[in-house]
Homo-oligomer: A and B are copies of this chain.
Amino acid sequence: MKDSKLSHVDSDGNAKMVDVSEKSVTKRTATAQSIVVFPEAVFDRLSKDNFLGKKGSIIQTAIIAGTMAAKKTSDLIPLCHPLALNKIQLDITPGNKQLEITATVKCEGKTGVEMEALTAASVAALTIYDMCKALTHDISITETKLMAKEGGKNAFNR
């Protein structure tokens, strides 16, 4: 365990935002993933259509939704700081019966962009779900996790 206390909980147990006033501004990057798993028949059919619903819109729509969601992170996660993001990139690639989403976010600020990367990946995954749910509800979103971060006090690499 890298830290000895939960930074978001004050001495009375009430939720509070961490004070980043004294932290220095550095360039920060975080990469997160999320995976959308399909039943084989559904995946085969999506795959045969190039995972694209004819002209690419499933992946395109999910990339755009994830990009826009990264910008809403501090509006969704109560104790996140609002940050000016320098870059949001999502990549979605087919794997074994699954679509694999990778989201990388960069900023130059006093706190990291892990939550922005995780939110981008999660909302891209939800969007894929939404665009495929007419085919099946046997879809699950799994392994949403941080893959790497750098630029803050502690780097992290899976």
Chain A contact residues, CB within 8 Å of chain B:
1-3, 5-21, 27, 34, 39, 41-42, 45, 52-61, 63-65, 67-69, 71-72, 74-91, 106, 108-110, 114-115, 118-119, 122-123, 125-127, 129-137, 139-146, 149, 156
- 29 inter-chain pairs at a CB distance below 8 angstroms, sorted by A residue, are A2-B134, A3-B134, A5-B134, A6-B58, A6-B131, A8-B57, A8-B134, A9-B53, A9-B54, A15-B61, A16-B67, A17-B67, A21-B27, A61-B78, A64-B65, A65-B77, A69-B76, A79-B130, A80-B130, A81-B84, A81-B85, A81-B86, A82-B82, A83-B84, A115-B129, A118-B126, A118-B129, A141-B143, A142-B144
Q: Are B79 and A135 interface neighbours, CB within 8 A?
A: no
